Structure 1
Amino acid sequence: MKILLNAEGIVTPAASKSHITYTVHLQRDCQELHVEFAYEPKKLEDEAQSKALIEEGLRQYIEAEHLQAYAENWRSYLPLQNLLTLSLDDETGFRGAGHRHDPVQRLVVDADKASPGLIPGVFPRGQLRITISLHCVVTEQCRYKLHVWEGEGA
């Protein structure tokens, strides 16, 4: 096992709809890539904060004449959740995306098989880009950890 990347960070709602990209230089072809990604918290537990965010979103996206009907059912949008997802690109281009709602993900790619959403095959020598897409951050802070290695399992 050769560790390629260990990263962690904290993001806030201001980072919603943005991306964080980590670049790893592969000195040689990588036959088997493992990625562990986790973030927390998943859900916004504070109901008052959730209601305020839902009402703000409704005012932004619902026409005024329909707003009351949606606002009365604000609880139907609960729970509000953070959503961070991964995608991979190598020297040949897009290698797939793990756009899942799971807050803990373990992904594997080798020459013959890959976790759902990822494309099997050897990663060629050169740049490997791992992008975290911050679709939505609703909690005051969301912590993430990203661990990437080549070779056998951890």
Structure 2
Amino acid sequence: MSNHPDKQETVILQERYQLGERHHQTHIKVPFVVAEAYEYIMIQFSYGPQIVDTEEAKPYLEQAVLRYFTPEEQTEGNWQNFLPLVNLLTLSVSQEGHYLGCYHHKAATQEIYLSAKTSSLGFERVSPTPGFWELQISLHCMLSRKGFAEICVIGGQQDEVLSH
């Protein structure tokens, strides 16, 4: 939440998801309703772990070496050349079925800002009006046995943010 006492912010949605290998290369749709008009919407998104544990990564990397390298190129332990293996989750946003964008970025903590004046890189400028909205978490890589994703959607007034 903002440290500005004159800003009015409302938590619209707050969710935490327990993730694991079964979520690898899947999508999680997160529908929500915006009940009133806001000057901006801020989405705080984080996930972890960002780096897959070496012992958890080993079987996946060994399989990849066998699949993508010729027998002559395969050497004992060369799977370690591909460490660290990184989990990658991205977030896209839609408003009333209209795709607003996505930012493919490796940061495990992201803040996405949407308003009519300015929006974060990868997202359209938009007036946050009441209606049906949807987030989609794309789990491009989730190979940790135990992981998480957290989302907090905040609606606010007094659009002061100049760059995101």
- Measured against the shorter chain, the TM-score band is 0.7 to 0.9
Secondary structure class of the residue paired with 1:69 = coil
Q: Which amino acid aligns with 1:119?
A: E
Q: 1:111 — aligned with what?
A: 116
After TM superposition, the score normalised by the length of structure 2 is 0.82
Structure (1/2) with the larger helix percentage:
1
Distance (whole Å) between structure 1 residues aligned to residue 18 and residue 43 of structure 2: 19
Query: What residue number does 1:81 align with?
Result: 86
Matches of 1:14 and 1:67 in 2, distance apart? 30
Cα offsets for 1:75-123 (capped at 9, x unmatched): 2311001111100011151101022110000111111111111111213
For residues 92 and 44 of structure 1, what CA distance do their matches in structure 2 show? 34
Q: Quote how far apart the aligned CAs of 1:70 are.
A: 4.8
- Deviation string, structure 1 residues 43-92 (Cα, Å, up to 9, x no partner): 0232x332221011233x426xx144155532231100111110001115
Q: CA RMSD in A?
A: 1.9
Moved over 6 A (4+): none
Q: What residue identity is the alignment partner of 1:6?
A: Q
Residues 103 and 68 of structure 1, relative CA distance in 2, 3 Å threshold: farther
Counterpart among 33, 52, 56 of residue 49 in structure 1 = 56
Structure 1 gaps of 5+ residues are none
TM-score (norm 1): 0.87
Unaligned runs of 5+ in 2: 1-8, 160-164
Identity %: 23
Aligned to 1:69: 73
Distance 1:111 1:4 in 2: 19
Contact 1:58 1:71 in 2 (8 A): no
SS in 1 for 2:152: strand
